[in-house]
């Protein structure tokens, strides 16, 4: 993605993308044309828009270029996300995978649509669990992400989505028992088990210690009445997801 004004006009970009999609170019030409398109549109990764064989009616080159040219990054006003990244850096000297043991394989520095076919179009990914493409996204409304933005868990292998918090803080609290790579496991425990906070049976010492540090850093507590709250979140926010209609 380039921050410079576009050097190639829309017509040229469409023509280059049409040639890329034709299958007639060499690998070097494809890389060059792809770079030209990325460098002349504000979208962070235009290839995500046209690598879509899973769509029953793939968009035209014109539609893809128009979407890339119209792209505006979500406006982020969420200090807690910056604080979470700072916490990661503090505990492991800038190791991007410092939180992997508890289910954050990485925290993205730039937020945009994940590119997975089942990911809602009105979402931007911010973290991965590190397994099978499972990732966490913000449900974006009005192109803004703030302390009232819900969090989505997407499982690409199954094509499933779950709302795991009405905001980032509630989501972090949701993971206080089992971590974030198997966060829905918490729903299988009786309330009394989760009252003991961290699952000492299924988490190793490193995982337990990381969760304790995270809880202390951000003053996090497990959900109360978690099953009812989880069901409530699905009713509130799942209807707002904008998803592709995929071929079966």
Digit-coded pLDDT (tens) for 218-229: 999 888 888 889
Instruction: Let me know if residue 5 belongs to a domain.
Output: no
Instruction: Give pTM, 2 decimals.
Output: 0.81
Range from 101-115, 186-200, 229-243 carrying the lowest mean pLDDT: 186-200
| Higher per-residue confidence, 174 vs 113 | 174
- Are 226 and 186 found together in one domain? yes
- Are 171 and 152 found together in one domain? yes
**pLDDT value of residue 47:** 74
Cα–Cα dist 136/156, whole Å: 11
pLDDT category of residue 190 using cuts at 50, 70 and 90: low
**pLDDT value of residue 5:** 45
Residue 151 has pLDDT above 90, yes or no: yes
Residue identified by tokens 């690998």 is 27
Task: Identify the domain containing residue 60 by its residue range.
Answer: 10-70
Mean pLDDT of 192-199: 54
User: Do residues 75 and 112 make contact, with C-beta atoms less than 8 angstroms apart?
Assistant: no
Name the domain count of the chain.
2
């Amino acid at each position: 993605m380039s921050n410079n004004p576009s050097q190639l006009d829309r017509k040229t970009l469409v023509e280059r993308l049409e040639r890329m999609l034709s299958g007639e170019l060499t690998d070097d030409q494809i890389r060059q044309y792809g770079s030209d398109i990325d460098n002349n549109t504000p979208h962070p990764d235009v290839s995500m828009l046209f690598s879509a064989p899973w769509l029953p009616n793939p968009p035209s080159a014109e539609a893809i270029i128009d979407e890339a040219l119209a792209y505006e990054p979500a406006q982020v006003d969420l200090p807690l996300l910056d604080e979470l990244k700072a916490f990661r850096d503090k505990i492991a000297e800038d190791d991007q995978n410092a939180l992997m043991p508890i289910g954050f394989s990485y925290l993205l520095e730039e937020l945009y649509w994940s590119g997975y076919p089942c990911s809602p179009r009105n979402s931007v990914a911010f973290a991965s669990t590190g397994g099978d493409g499972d990732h966490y996204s913000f449900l974006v409304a009005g192109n803004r992400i703030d302390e009232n933005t819900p969090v989505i868990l997407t499982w690409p292998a199954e094509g499933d989505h779950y709302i795991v918090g009405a905001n980032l803080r509630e989501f972090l609290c949701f993971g206080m028992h089992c971590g974030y790579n198997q966060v829905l496991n918490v729903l299988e425990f009786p309330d009394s088990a989760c009252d003991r906070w961290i699952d000492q049976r299924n988490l190793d010492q490193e995982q337990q210690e990381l969760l304790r540090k995270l809880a202390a850093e951000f003053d996090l507590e497990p959900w109360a009445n978690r099953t009812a709250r989880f069901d409530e979140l699905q009713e509130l926010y799942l209807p707002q997801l904008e998803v592709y209609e995929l071929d079966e």
